[in-house]
Structure 1
Amino acid sequence: MGAPILAGLLLGSLPTGLMATLGAFTALYGSGRPYLNRAGHLALIAVSFALSVSIGIWASGRAITVVGCLTLLAMAATFLCSARQVEPPGAYMFVVACAAGTALPAAQLTPFSAGVVVLAGGVFAWLVHMAGALFSLRGPEKSAVAAAANAVAAYLEVLDTERERPAHRRAAAALQRSWQVLVQQQPLKSRADSTLRRLRGLNRRLHLLAAAAAQYSGRAGGVPPEYIRTVRHIAGQAAHPPPPAVPHGSWPILEPPGFFPSLWQSLKPGSPPVKVALRVGAAALIAGAIASSLALDRAYWAVAAAVLMLHTGMDWLRTLQRSLERFAGTLGGIGLTAVIFWWHPQGFWLLAVVMLLQFTIEMLVVRNYALAAVFITATALTIGSGGQPVPDPSRLLQARVEDTALGCAVALLVFRLLTPRDAPTRIPAALAGTVKAVDAAALAMGSGRLDSAQALRMHGRLQQSTLRLAQAYDAAVGGSAAQRDAAEKLWPATAAAEQLAFRVLAAWTIMLHGGSAAGEGRPAVELDADGAARLHQVLSGLAAAAETGRPAAPLGKLPAFLRPEVHAVHEALQTSPERSPARGEGEVSGS
């Protein structure tokens, strides 16, 4: 953030330097990604910031055009960031760059030249962000494996306690993240003796250890202590990974979908990226239209506030909390900004103030958003002043409060109007989807061809369905009182289905790689074609019971390693409150 301002000072054009800091926000993205993947990711981010500012300057001066461009930009950025799982701050900063760029006192810049200035700030941020590759090219991969190992160890240490379930979720997420860094964000071809392949070997061993340990859940004696010691040892080995115990050729890797196929998948009607983008577009358009009709100063602030509340797709309670935190932080930020405007720092003092404000934001934003919002407000207004005296600071600060309040209020209203009221009915659908995914995975396991592309897709489908089940439950818990009550009643079935999915994923890993591959003991996991067929009949009935709310049929003969989990799902569905069919409920709510 400081370097573009310094360049502007040295070149005698402070407003231009402040505009370049919009490109410097590129540095907020890409952390944790492998450097080769990060290079392309950040380059696209930097170009997007430049394009956003150019569009904003082109649209400036015409309220209808400004609101229209901000709305379309907000929708496009929200959809793309959601579909491609772009890390926070996601789409919000592109809307801020587009809006804030129009207010900077740099009238001599054309849209193209302003884009070049912003891109220059982005290029510098790219260089700083990539500098670590000179010292530890595989640093992100090593950190991901170490983090996964520590998460798995933490899970094993609380096995069979009340803390097991959240620890299991964190371990599963860390393992998935590490595999994403090691495979999905890498070129598929790498040298046989590369550090990457050694790290993949450690990561697969972690998967096997976590899978084998999960088989001990609920057993007398718990997980063997040597499992935990081995996992902790792997965390230390990540810095200097040893050669893998199993030849790489025996490790099946499913090629991730390309950029355009994944976008096409996200474009399906009703997909989360489409829902969130439509919600953001409606809020941006309404907030901008109201602010313009009321002739509020800096009406684009209302649009930015509305986008901020909705672009991440949070549930109602968290959206409400974020709105209150943002408004409270804005009030506090107004006081801090008033002090800065009174002081009116110039030259290197201004540079130091902006750097200190941004540093404080980064230190606080995860832990205390309300406090971070104080400094976010002060940073935005300081940069927006262009280093020039503000003619009427009290009016500017008042406008910031008004627009923020309007944007937050519109966002909450749109959320209530455009969010389906059938969140509790999505839990049965997610339950059924998870059980069906378990069924498909079990059939693949019974076939004995776990390394085929189709079988690997079934494995990925089971992982995704388990995640969707957790998201459906969390959304209901964060919804209305009725939704929270329904979610509480469905919690036993949700927990049982999640545990069943985790057990099947663990069994899959053991059957595919074998405990001996990692030098560990191998718990008994046996599933042939006949067993998978019998299990299919049972799971089909459980999926239908979850979806319709009708009682499940009595259980037949089950594979021994899955018997406790299947019985738990069956019992939970039998004792769940009566529900009308999910499809009918959804149609009524949707109407």
Structure 2
Amino acid sequence: MSFALATGMPIDQSLAPLRGGLVLMGGALSWIICMLGWFFNPHGPESLAVEKVYRELGAFLDSMGTETFRRARQRTVLAMKHAEDTLLAGFSNRRNPNELKRLYLLNEHANAIFLDAMEISLNKKIVMPPELGQSVRALAGAIASKTKNKKKILQPDQMTDEVEGLFMKLYNADAIMNEPVQKIDQAATISKPSLKTIFLGAFDKNSIVFLSSVRYGTILTIAAIIAYSANFNRSYWIPLSCAAVMSGPTIIATFHRAVQRTFGTVIGLLIASLILAAVHNEYIIVLIILSLTFITELFIVRNYGLAAMFFTPSALIMAEYSSQSYDFGFFATVRITDIIVGSLIGLIGSVILGSRSASFSII
């Protein structure tokens, strides 16, 4: 991205240290802000991830036998996958603090409860008692707060052997939460491949990472050739838009991102025009860019089209004020043209190179 942006700047080798330093300062500031939480709660992300697993697990247990079962099951699986990735990212071979061990064991028990519940769900005659979901959520509330679970596990008067097994696993998880780690006689099995294994595996000819990289590289090369050979203004927006659209995991997702980016950009242009027409104070512009960036980060994990409505005016405002040309019509026309061209290249390239993939054959 930095390389593409540099191609749109005036050629001046003497400014290379300044431009590189500005990028370094921006990245360093972001890193410092993100790492501030480490001083107060080093394992906060891991605790929140495991807490979410138990909250989703409680909702999943309540949904058994209802119409919301499939959706709750999917949310629980996604939460467990996210927790596993977060725990592995926080693991280090040089140190293995007790708090991480506790979280690993709690996550393993949540997986065991989920698998047993899935097996029980095959027998549609068995109804989960509400006390089970309530107890799981009570345990979830104690994970991130670092306090003992003061709420007792509510056990129904009558239950089947299968449900009793779930309560036994829940009792074990409660013990792991409340007892000192030194007294827990369980081993946390942590399997994390080395950096060398990951790196070399990515270059295997059968690796999906390698195949995807070749596909991305080929399409982005074509997008860059078209952008710079046709002398588009702000040519770097074309490969950037192409890369953003292609980040969808399937052909359908790629098509959705192309449509969302196009419509989001059009609406974003309208928002930018209103802001630039009404606001002429630099300090207020800074606050507006801050607000737009904040809203973008809130929406981009949920809906790319909504996020495009806010990062588009932010980019246009910065472009216009940094260039001091104040020609909004020029920037708006250039951006929407380049984004449409880049999105089309990404969509066509994904269809051609990914036509034999499993995701495409579903269409």
Q: TM-score, normalised by structure 1?
A: 0.51
Distance 1:331-1:177 versus aligned 2 partners, 3 A rule: closer
Distance 1:334-1:121 versus aligned 2 partners, 3 A rule: same
2:51 aligned with 1:146: yes
Q: Which residue of 1 aligns with 2:268?
A: 333
Distance 1:344-1:106 versus aligned 2 partners, 3 A rule: farther
Listed as ranges, the matches of 1:228-239 within 5 Å are 228-238=133-143, 239=145
Deviations 1:237-294 (A, max 9, x none): 2022422689556325143101121122222224322232222222222222222232
2:126 aligned with 1:221: yes
Note if contact 1:283-1:414 (Cα within 8 Å) is conserved in structure 2: yes
Q: Which residue of 2 aligns with 1:190?
A: 96
Code of the aligned partner of 1:315: T
2:21 aligned with 1:116: yes
SS at the partner of 1:223?
coil
Note if contact 1:325-1:370 (Cα within 8 Å) is conserved in structure 2: yes
Q: Which residue of 2 aligns with 1:356?
A: 291
Q: Which residue of 2 aligns with 1:208?
A: 112
Q: Paired residue for 2:201, among 265, 272, 279?
A: 265
Q: Which residue of 2 aligns with 1:64?
A: none
SS at the partner of 2:335?
helix
Q: CA deviation at 1:209?
A: 2.5
Structure 1 residues not aligned, in runs of 5+: 1-94, 424-474, 485-591
Q: Which residue of 1 aligns with 2:337?
A: 402
Distance 1:386-1:108 versus aligned 2 partners, 3 A rule: farther
Q: CA deviation at 1:412?
A: 1.3
Note if contact 2:105-2:188 (Cα within 8 Å) is conserved in structure 1: no
Distance 1:216-1:352 versus aligned 2 partners, 3 A rule: same
Listed as ranges, the matches of 1:371-520 within 5 Å are 371-390=306-325, 392-421=327-356, 423=358, 475=359, 479=360, 483-484=362-363
Q: CA deviation at 1:197?
A: 2.9
Code of the aligned partner of 1:314: P
Q: Which residue of 2 aligns with 1:321?
A: 256
Note if contact 1:292-1:299 (Cα within 8 Å) is conserved in structure 2: yes
Question: 1:200 and 1:341 mapped to 2: Cα distance?
Answer: 51
Structure 2 residues not aligned, in runs of 5+: 147-176
Q: Paired residue for 1:128, among 17, 33, 36?
A: 33
Q: CA deviation at 1:234?
A: 1.6
Q: Which residue of 1 aligns with 2:42?
A: 137
Distance 1:259-1:347 versus aligned 2 partners, 3 A rule: same
Question: 2:292 and 2:134 mapped to 1: Cα distance?
Answer: 43
Q: Which residue of 2 aligns with 1:66?
A: none
SS at the partner of 2:178?
coil
Question: 1:406 and 1:156 mapped to 2: Cα distance?
Answer: 48
Distance 1:412-1:183 versus aligned 2 partners, 3 A rule: closer
How many residues in Structure 1 have an aligned counterpart in Structure 2? 330
Note if contact 1:104-1:385 (Cα within 8 Å) is conserved in structure 2: no
Question: 1:259 and 1:160 mapped to 2: Cα distance?
Answer: 44
Question: 1:416 and 1:345 mapped to 2: Cα distance?
Answer: 45
Code of the aligned partner of 1:132: G
Question: 2:76 and 2:305 mapped to 1: Cα distance?
Answer: 29
Q: CA deviation at 1:345?
A: 3.6
Question: 1:245 and 1:392 mapped to 2: Cα distance?
Answer: 63
Note if contact 2:266-2:336 (Cα within 8 Å) is conserved in structure 1: yes
SS at the partner of 2:350?
helix
Note if contact 1:297-1:396 (Cα within 8 Å) is conserved in structure 2: no
Q: Which residue of 2 aligns with 1:578?
A: none
Note if contact 2:245-2:258 (Cα within 8 Å) is conserved in structure 1: yes
Question: 1:151 and 1:289 mapped to 2: Cα distance?
Answer: 47
Note if contact 2:8-2:236 (Cα within 8 Å) is conserved in structure 1: no
Q: Which residue of 2 aligns with 1:276?
A: 212
Distance 1:420-1:275 versus aligned 2 partners, 3 A rule: farther
Question: 1:179 and 1:406 mapped to 2: Cα distance?
Answer: 39
Question: 1:354 and 1:157 mapped to 2: Cα distance?
Answer: 43
Note if contact 1:209-1:231 (Cα within 8 Å) is conserved in structure 2: no
Q: CA deviation at 1:229?
A: 3.1
SS at the partner of 1:298?
coil
Distance 1:303-1:143 versus aligned 2 partners, 3 A rule: same
Question: 2:29 and 2:36 mapped to 1: Cα distance?
Answer: 11
Code of the aligned partner of 1:186: F
Question: 1:344 and 1:221 mapped to 2: Cα distance?
Answer: 63
Note if contact 2:245-2:254 (Cα within 8 Å) is conserved in structure 1: yes
Question: 1:336 and 1:272 mapped to 2: Cα distance?
Answer: 40
Question: 2:52 and 2:67 mapped to 1: Cα distance?
Answer: 22
Q: CA deviation at 1:106?
A: 10
Question: RMSD of the alignment, in Å?
Answer: 2.8
Distance 1:151-1:106 versus aligned 2 partners, 3 A rule: farther
Q: CA deviation at 1:224?
A: 4.6
The percent of aligned pairs where both chains have the same amino acid is 26
SS at the partner of 1:216?
helix
SS at the partner of 2:322?
coil
Question: 1:187 and 1:409 mapped to 2: Cα distance?
Answer: 43
Q: Which residue of 1 aligns with 2:3?
A: 98
Code of the aligned partner of 1:154: A
Q: CA deviation at 1:388?
A: 4.0
Distance 1:392-1:227 versus aligned 2 partners, 3 A rule: closer
Q: CA deviation at 1:111?
A: 2.4
Question: 2:287 and 2:14 mapped to 1: Cα distance?
Answer: 25
Deviations 1:390-444 (A, max 9, x none): 2643233212122111111111111111013352xxxxxxxxxxxxxxxxxxxxx
Distance 1:106-1:304 versus aligned 2 partners, 3 A rule: same
Distance 1:109-1:375 versus aligned 2 partners, 3 A rule: farther
Q: CA deviation at 1:163?
A: 3.5
Note if contact 2:46-2:90 (Cα within 8 Å) is conserved in structure 1: no
Q: Which residue of 2 aligns with 1:503?
A: none
Q: CA deviation at 1:326?
A: 0.9
SS at the partner of 1:387?
helix
Note if contact 2:237-2:338 (Cα within 8 Å) is conserved in structure 1: yes
Code of the aligned partner of 1:350: I
Q: CA deviation at 1:348?
A: 1.5
Note if contact 1:341-1:389 (Cα within 8 Å) is conserved in structure 2: no
Q: CA deviation at 1:352?
A: 1.4
Code of the aligned partner of 2:191: E
